[in-house]
Chain A
Amino acid sequence: MSQHASMREITLHVNGEARTCTVADRSNLADFLRHDLQLTGTHVGCEHGVCGACTVLVDGRSVRGCLMLAVQADGCSVETVESLAAGTQGAAGLGPLQQAFRDRHALQCGYCTPGILMSLTELLRDDPAPDEQAVRLVLSGHLCRCTGYQNIVAAALQAASKPAGDA
């Protein structure tokens, strides 16, 4: 039984910004982002790696934030939902994928949405023109209780049909 968890210093890039932090070595990446860095856009839905709500990108690859320790991200580049609207114009201030979600009513309660946005961001970087099956396969790593998924699929396909930056 650990009485006081041991601490460790890590240095990483989060949404392009260099951060050096002292973290509990048992803290997972999602809790670290949420509670140490106050990046609460990343949500925690199951803490056992199934629901996908906590998905973030680590060195460009989607990761369950609840299944990776924060110390494992030492030296890595982490991207969260808070990065997706960076540099966008317009009143709503949304990136193209976010705008597609709004256009297509691809979110209801919004709790699972940040994780889904990150997985789809990875997909669209790998394959700028995915078909519906490819989108559904990526989405199958996420649980959403509100939408029935079909508007999320439509939003992803809409975002894919637009060149990046054309919101």
Chain B
Amino acid sequence: MDTIVPSGQVVEPATAASADDYTARRMFGTRAPRIEDPALLRGEGRYLDDIRMPDPLHAAFLRSPHAHARVVRIDLAAARALPGVVAVFDADAIARELTSLRMPLGFPSATLQKDITPWVLSCTEVAFVGEAMVMVVAQSRAIAEDALALIEVDFEPLPVVHDCHQALDDAAPVVRSDAASNIAERLQVGFGEVDAAFAAAPHVFTESLFVHRGAAHPMEGRGVLARYDAVEDAITIWTSTQMAHEVMHSIAAMLGMDQHNVRVVAPDVGGGFGCKYLTYPEEVAIPAVARCLGRPVKWVEDRAEHFVSAIHERDQYWDVDIAVDARGTILGVRGRLLHDQGAYTPQGINLPYNAATSVTGPYRVPAYRMDVIICQTNKTPVIPVRGAGYPQAAFVMERMLDRVARELAIDRAELRARNLIPVEKMPYDKGLTNRAGVRSIVDSGDYARTQAEALARIDYAGFPARQREARARGRYLGLGLANAVKATSRGPFESAVIRVSPQGRIDLYTGALAMGQGLATALAQIAAEQLDVPLDMIHVTCGDTGRVSLGMGGFASRQTVMAGSSVHLAAVEVRNKALRVGEQLLGVPLEGLRLRDGRVEVVSAPGRFVTIGDIARKLKGAPGYSLPPGITPGLEATGLFQTNSQAHANACHACEVEVDPGTGAVRLLRYVAVHDSGRLVNPTMAEGQIHGGVVHGIGNALFEKMGYDDEAQPVTGTFADYLLPTSTEVPDIEVVFIETASPTNPIGVKGIGEAGTIPVAPAIVSAIENALSPWNVHLAEAPVSPVRLLELIDASAAA
């Protein structure tokens, strides 16, 4: 690394600056305007449904209206007879096109219940509302939907598992007839002498908490387009995904093709937030049918489908004990987590595993044990949404600390400060292993300083006076705070290829996947830092399996670290190679040369230069002519940064709310988010990640509830009843960065995409509880609606 950012530098929020004013030469760490923006702003983005394909067919899926039912009879005759319908596939018909009717498990597991993944199309039994049963292919989407209405199905409704607690009842029905039990898996995580710690503890406090997170809800739903080429026996699939390479491997396996003949391309992706990090049944069905019919086939999910057939996170019930000494020092934490997995397990147990292993977060906890029961219910399957279990874990830990503070009459911030991992203990061994099998080591960060910065920004010291003054006027203010840490940058690797063409064009290919974060800009900045070119000289292609053979994609706040490091390694190699060739072509020693604006030039005589295009032309070879001595062919390099350790991003959030005890309305007055995500590639984009992450957390704290009734029928199927935060509910988020370079990677960065979401619900709920302290209301759940707050106020008043 040739630049060093002082550890712990505080980056102030953006000041007004036009993108046109941007002239800085340094790229890494600057507020460069995004290279993605002009096309998107002109309406020239190319999302899945924008791809123009001659003569495509359109698919629509018949989905189960029952949470659990046996399929007695399906009559497809009328649908098949509708003019414009080309083909109708039920499970038997699609099975003939596939190596398996059952989807592969995303993350392999030896311990998980067998035969637990979804079907491409269900055949004799349906297990959740929204499960795909029949696929119609027609000349238009409208005709395909008309045909769905002509399909006659006789269902025999079966008893329903609608909730985790019910799932564990001995008398409960079983979620699917092929399931051995409603328990997908039990696991225990922990470390230390838990029972001894509790036996000797001066104080033990117990809470039962409920944490619900809804669905991801990117504004663009899912969508798939497939085109089969019979001459080549090759298929191209465009899909709105976070993981092009894994989708490619899944499709190749399910269609019985070799990866050589399967190309998956992610076009512009209109947000992901976790729900697109999965190979879905539709992503297998569409290419299978395109191959069968020899015609391009497209399916674009509508929002009604997204509500029930794209994954959720949903319910977790936690029963937790905390043991502390008289000063509030944590001695141990133990408990049980019931996790609602839904009707199938498409990916694995990563969400409950993450939740159970991240409870202790930024705190020193000498003994910890969590028993996890993964419950199956007749609801939409579950995989991680932005935050991936960490928000639930943070909610649990921070609520426990607020309880301790209240019981022992210790200031909430002081109690946390006493228990945060001290900076001198970094790197800190959390006592757990991650799923790569390596020790979970917190690499760096100054947690006490992060909290102190948040307290200073929110004027924590001045709050009691503000609260008293407001109460005197009949207004109820509350302040809340919460800390968080996120293990980012999951391995094992990410790919980057940088290639310079004889025309001087610089291409950057990566298996990382852009879904709106500005990944292309960030990677271009990292490359440009080494190659010393303007960003618009670098052409970034993400998520095209035809361009780069390996890739993992976008999950776990990993891409800036993993792909960024790979880009850095490749760019350094290209840069050094260009200079070494320039040395020979110009006859000037290395120390007298520099790479700038696509040229290797003589420092003392900038008019003497050779362009990178010239160098690339030299290195592409000419028949029989030698390359410069000691130089390998091609001006290109591949970076495959590989690691199993994780860069830990941390945060402290503090917020001030006003609660109207007459209506239960909560107004967010101020929101401060102090973050350490290591060195920042682009502070403006980093702030944007925190803004969006915090507002996602506000949704989880106050609004977003994927509701079901006792028959597991969804009761929130539109954006009119499932509430996402809108502009009038959210305050400006005051973002402050502390930059502690991570030692885990060559560019010192840490992930950022999920960090903003994690501490939000506990911070807001703490603030609400603080505002309602005259009523002694205690909150052990999220989200909290106005109606729920009124219930709790009334119950407290009556007690």
Contact = CB atoms under 8 A, between A and B. Distances in A.
A99 B19 contact: yes
A114 interface: yes
Interface in B682-734: 684-685, 687-688, 691-692, 694-696, 718-720, 724-728, 730, 732-733
B189 interface: no
A109 B273 CA distance: 11
Contacts of B150: 1
Given A109-B218, A145-B724, A48 B146 contact: no
Interface stretch (A6-14, A36-44, A57-65, A70-78): A36-44
Nearest to B149: A1
Contacts of B37: 92, 101-102, 107, 110
B34 interface: yes
Contacts of A123: none
Contact of B41 (A98, A140, A144): A98
Contacts of B726: 139-140, 142-143, 149
Contacts of B684: 105
A128 B184 CA distance: 59
A96 to B, nearest CB: 11
B728 A110 contact: no
At the interface, is chain B mostly helix, strand, loop or mixed? loop
A85 interface: yes
Contacts of B219: 43, 45, 51, 53, 109, 111-112, 143-146
Interface stretch (B47-55, B502-510, B564-572): B47-55
Contacts of B50: 34, 40
Contacts of A42: 43
Contacts, number: 195
A98 B38 CA distance: 8
A150 B733 contact: yes
Which of B20, B150, B518 counts the most chain A CB atoms within 10 A? Answer: B20
Contact of A44 (B49, B218, B687): B49
Given A94-B41, A101-B41, A143-B719, A43 B220 contact: yes
A3 B42 contact: no
A17 B726 CA distance: 35
Interface in A14-54: 24, 26-27, 34, 38-48, 50-51, 53
A51 to B, nearest CB: 6
Contacts of A51: 219, 303, 719
Interface residues of B, number: 66
Contact of B728 (A84, A137, A144): A137
Interface string B283-320: 00000000000000000001110000000000000000
Contact of A146 (B46, B271, B304): B271
Nearest to B50: A40
Given A50-B720, A143-B719, A150-B732, A80 B517 contact: no
A108 B692 CA distance: 9
Contacts of B34: 102, 105
B303 A47 contact: yes
Contacts of B36: 110
Contacts of B270: 43, 109-111
A117 B518 CA distance: 19
A110 B40 contact: yes
Given A139-B727, A145-B218, A148-B694, A114 B303 contact: no
Contacts of B3: none
Given A45-B220, A146-B271, A4 B84 contact: yes
Which of A38, A103, A148, A152 counts the most chain B CB atoms within 10 A? Answer: A148
Contact of B38 (A5, A44, A102, A151): A102
Contacts of B47: 40, 43, 111
B672 to A, nearest CB: 14
B142 A24 contact: yes
A3 B150 CA distance: 11
A111 B271 contact: yes
Which of B37, B84, B268, B269 counts the most chain A CB atoms within 10 A? Answer: B37
A149 B84 contact: no
A140 B692 contact: no
Interface string B494-519: 00000000000000000000011110
Contacts of B269: 109
B303 A109 contact: no
B81 to A, nearest CB: 10
A109 B201 CA distance: 50
A132 to B, nearest CB: 9
B17 interface: yes
A42 to B, nearest CB: 7
Nearest to A110: B40
B692 A3 contact: no
A55 B778 CA distance: 43
Contacts of A27: 142
A117 B40 CA distance: 11
Contact of A48 (B38, B46, B719): B719
A112 B720 CA distance: 17
A53 B49 CA distance: 14
B594 interface: no
B216 to A, nearest CB: 8
B18 interface: yes
B42 A98 contact: yes
Contacts of A43: 47, 219-220, 270
A34 B49 contact: yes
A153 interface: yes
Which of B17, B84, B719 counts the most chain A CB atoms within 10 A? Answer: B719
Which of A2, A48, A110 counts the most chain B CB atoms within 10 A? Answer: A110
Given A82-B43, A109-B270, A149-B730, A92 B38 contact: yes
B4 interface: no
Contacts of B518: 108
Contact of A117 (B41, B688, B718, B719): B41
Contacts of B732: 150, 153
Closest 9 CB pairs of A and B: A41-B43, A109-B516, A111-B270, A110-B40, A148-B691, A148-B695, A81-B43, A139-B727, A50-B719
Given A80-B43, A114-B43, A139-B726, 9 more contacts: A40-B47, A43-B47, A99-B19, A105-B14, A107-B37, A111-B219, A145-B696, A146-B688, A149-B730
